Structure 1
Amino acid sequence: MTLDQLIKALTPEIYQNLRTAIELGRWPDGRKLDAEQKELCMQAVIYYEQMHDLPASERVGYMEDACKSEGKHDHDDHDDDDVQTLTLQ
């Protein structure tokens, strides 16, 4: 099974369970997530949100106050300073 197939197979319920596990640091049965599990869950959640084209306000890590400046360019000479490429492996 490829990563694309796996993410496409995730139901909204599984996606929400992964988000909750990341937030709490525990699986639904109470077991603690280790660092690798947390990282894999975060990658799956981000990929799921991208694949399902969720609005930015519904994505993990969204910060409303941080996005209010969108469209304002107080520092036009530094337009691409905050651009980072995310690579999922």
Structure 2
Amino acid sequence: MDVEQLLAAMTPEVYERLNYAIETGRWLDGSPISQQQRDSCMQAVMLYQSKNNHDPQHMSVGAGGEVAFKSKSELKKQFAEGQDDIIRVAAE
């Protein structure tokens, strides 16, 4: 399978599952992933992000393949803005 076929077949759900496996070292069923599987998942996730990630987070790959880096102050500001939404929802 070439890169374009992989990206065409990769749904947001598949992306989330691969990302979960990378972050936790386990598949959703709890079984561990091998280093080779983790490396392959990482490559697939980065490819997916390079085509679909229009709001990149700190140290992620944005659409177009550009790596996004956010400073600590930018991240704090972003999280502070999100806290307003959390407080508002919790109060309702």
TM-score range, shorter chain: 0.5 to 0.7
> Which of 71, 75, 91 in structure 2 is aligned with 1:65?
71
The answer for unaligned runs of 5 or more in structure 1 is 69-89
State TM-score, norm by structure 1.
0.62
Asked if 1:51 corresponds to 2:51, the answer is yes
> In structure 2, what is the equivalent of residue 9 of structure 1?
9
How many Å separate the matches in 1 of 2:33 and 2:6? 20
Higher strand proportion: 2
More helix by share: 2
Instruction: Output the aligned Cα RMSD.
Output: 2.6
**SS of equivalent residue, structure 2 residue 71:** helix
Larger relative contact order, structure 1 or 2 (CA cutoff 8 Å, min sep 6) = 1
Pick closer, same or farther for the CA change 1:23–1:5 going to 2, 3 Å: same
Q: Percent identity?
A: 37
TM-superposed CA distance for 1:53, in Å, is 4.3
Evaluate the alpha carbon distance shift between residue 53 and residue 67 of structure 1 in structure 2; reply closer, same or farther with a 3 A threshold.
farther
Count, aligned residues: 68
